[in-house]
């Protein structure tokens, strides 16, 4: 079973070089701690809803993608959320990179929130890729809402056993709910998918303060979490706008089936 690193990095809105450096640090640290895969947040290059995305977004294969590919060649799988330019469109995209640096899987967020629909074009496809631990999908954040649970269910019907989900979980300034109260919203759909399809869900959010856009001033609060196929947590990262952390979670042997691995 994989050793999973939750790359709960701080994202600074509209500062791609700073964010990429932080992401590469997380990949390096995950490799040093013998993780098999590291998952990074949604739009980790620019920040979700970053107004500058219109001009700052890069095509896949650009320098940010290439830097992540080079980092993966140290011998680790990397999942990252990126702001993708394709022609005159911008997508909220996730990629899965193999340890040889090749991009195994690309996903464009489908259930983009209303706040993001003027900025991001929604994706129109669900795909999966083999890993040594079974088929993997990389749905992004709200793709896993209960309201859009059919997306995760479709991946489950395709035989996916791992959902690696880049996220950008945020709360308004002054929010006082506890980490358990916040996570209860997400654990409901994760437990449903896990128990219904025997899959594990790994969701990783960034931390930091959103600058610009409809959620200007909101706090991204981490709380990255791993949910096993029994619907229970296997690990979580700390909660808060300043809770920058790399948390490595060992999945116990026998917790996950491997019937769909690597073909």
What positions carry a catalytic annotation? 42, 109, 141
SS3 194: helix
Residue of 95, 101, 246 lying closest to 164 (CA atoms): 95
Estimate the crossing angle of helix 149-157 against helix 179-197, to 10 degrees. Answer: 30
Residue 224, CB-side half-sphere exposure with 13 Å CA sphere: 33
Helix (H) or strand (E) holding 5: strand 3-8
Residue 236, CB-side half-sphere exposure with 13 Å CA sphere: 17
Length of the chain: 263
**Is-contact 169 239, C-beta < 8 A?**
no
Q: What angle do CA 23, 156, 231 make, to 5 degrees?
A: 75
Beta strands 160-167 and 103-108, pairing class: unpaired
Question: What are the backbone dihedrals phi and psi of residue 84, each rounded to the nearest 5 degrees, phi first?
Answer: -105, 130
Distance between CA atoms of 5 and 245, rounded to whole angstroms? 10
Distance between CA atoms of 19 and 32, rounded to whole angstroms? 20
Beta strands 200-205 and 225-227, pairing class: antiparallel
Distance between CA atoms of 20 and 33, rounded to whole angstroms? 20
């Amino acid at each position: 079973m994989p050793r999973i690193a939750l790359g709960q990095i701080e994202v600074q809105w509209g500062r791609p070089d700073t964010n990429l450096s932080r992401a590469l640090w997380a990949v390096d640290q995950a490799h040093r701690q013998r993780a098999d895969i590291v998952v990074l947040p949604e739009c980790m290059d620019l920040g979700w809803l970053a107004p500058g995305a219109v001009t700052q977004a890069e095509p896949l294969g650009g320098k940010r993608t290439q830097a992540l590919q080079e980092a993966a060649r140290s011998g680790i799988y990397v999942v990252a959320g990126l702001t993708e330019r394709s022609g005159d469109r911008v997508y909220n995209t996730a990629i899965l990179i193999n340890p040889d640096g090749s991009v195994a899987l690309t996903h464009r967020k489908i259930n983009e929130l209303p706040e993001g629909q003027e900025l991001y074009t929604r994706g129109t496809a669900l795909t999966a890729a083999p890993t040594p631990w079974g088929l993997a999908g990389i749905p992004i954040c709200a793709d896993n809402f209960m309201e859009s649970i059919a997306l995760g269910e479709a991946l489950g019907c395709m035989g996916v056993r791992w959902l690696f989900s880049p996220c950008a979980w945020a709360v308004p300034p002054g929010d006082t709910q506890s980490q358990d109260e916040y996570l209860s919203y997400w654990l409901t759909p994760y437990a449903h998918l896990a128990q219904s399809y025997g899959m594990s869900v790994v969701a990783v959010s960034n931390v930091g303060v959103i600058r610009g856009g409809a959620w200007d001033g909101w706090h991204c609060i981490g709380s990255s979490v791993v949910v096993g196929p029994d619907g229970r947590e296997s690990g979580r990262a700390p909660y808060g706008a300043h809770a920058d952390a790399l948390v490595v979670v060992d999945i116990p042997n026998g917790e996950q089936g491997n019937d769909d691995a690597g073909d």
